[in-house]
Amino acid sequence: MREYLERHLEPLSNRDDDQSSETWLHSFPESIRRELLPELKFDDSGTETVKLPGGGTLAFSYEPVPVDAIEEYRKIYGEISPSDLMEGYEHLASETMVVKLREKCRKLTSLSIQTSFGKSIQLAGLPVRHVLFSTDDTWIRSSYAERYTKDVLLYCPPTSILSLLILFHEIGHLECEKQLTKREVARRSRARGKYQGEIGVHPIFTGKARVEGFEEVSELVLREERDAWAVALSKLRHVMPAFDVRREDVLKSIHEITLSGYSDAIRKRMGREPSVYKMLDTLSTMLKGILDTRQKTTAEKLT
């Protein structure tokens, strides 16, 4: 295994591969997923301010998703066949996307965190065009940064430290990308595509080139995720005490829940790579099956 993966893969967890979004959410510590505005009902536009448990305020404003952005997503995802979408990403089908953006999403126009001890952070100035958030957590299964538009789609409102961590993690992807050349951006995009294509493969025959190729793209993907989390933490760590969360809970959320999802997938895929001995056993079984079939056919002809 490549040295980077040896050092940075999280230990294999006991997570169920098919866990629901609700189960995933409840795997986070309560202090991390605690809603600061649990009864909030969204209008078309508005401004909300909430006092933070550790002192200070979180304030944000929102408005409908711009029509031009909706049309842009219609064009982007109109080229994708619904049958080509992976499980859990069916919401990216063009017309579904358009309806949900119009009905279930809002654009975050501003966000600021001001602590009682003089630390603050704002959304303004960060390398993101639009932050589009779902007004409930039943539409988007997971948040992501849209690299073509420089937008972030957030699975829920920015009303918990968990949603803020994820928001700044996705912005971290865009910020890291700013430091890369166009060639490197394209390379990483191809790597993520290859990673997604390989992660569910169950190979029959061993192949050194395939193993090395998967390790290479896995390293790039894991680096991207870790780098984006590093950006998120660097931006939020000064205001984190205002949310009254323990450092251990934050690190558990990042390492044991989010990064471990990638690590589990990589370890399991590599564990499915057959050894030479397993390959020989497979070949032996296949040949035995062929011989048995031929012998049976010959016997039937003789009788």
Residue 8 forms part of a structural domain: yes
Chain segment 101-120, per-residue pLDDT in tens: 888 899 999 999 999 999 99
**What is the predicted pLDDT for the residue at 86?**
45
Residue 302 forms part of a structural domain: no
Q: Give the integer Cα–Cα distance in Å for 132 and 112.
A: 16
Using the 8-state DSSP alphabet, how is residue 240 labeled?
G
- Specify the pairing of strand 46-51 against strand 56-63: antiparallel
Residue 277 has pLDDT above 50, yes or no: no
H helix runs in 148-207, sequence order: 161-178, 182-198
**What is the predicted pLDDT for the residue at 141?**
61
Residue 301 forms part of a structural domain: no
Yes or no: say if 123 and 131 are a contact pair by the CB < 8 Å rule. Answer: yes
Chain segment 40-52, per-residue pLDDT in tens: 999 999 999 999 9
**What is the predicted pLDDT for the residue at 131?**
97
DSSP assignment of 64-120: PPPHHHHHHHHHHHHTS-GGGSPTT-GGGSHHHHHHHHHHTEEEEEEEEEEETTS-E
Residue 303 forms part of a structural domain: no
pLDDT confidence band for 139 (50 / 70 / 90): low
Stretch 244-268: mean pLDDT: 93
Best CA proximity match to 136, nearest among 58, 202, 40, 207: 40
The whole domain housing 225 covers 3-15+22-294
Residue 63 forms part of a structural domain: yes
Query: What is the total count of domains within the chain?
Result: 1
Residue 38 forms part of a structural domain: yes
The lowest-confidence range among 76-80, 143-147, 149-153 is 76-80
Residue 300 forms part of a structural domain: no
What tokens appear for 151 in the block? 């937008």
**What is the predicted pLDDT for the residue at 207?**
80
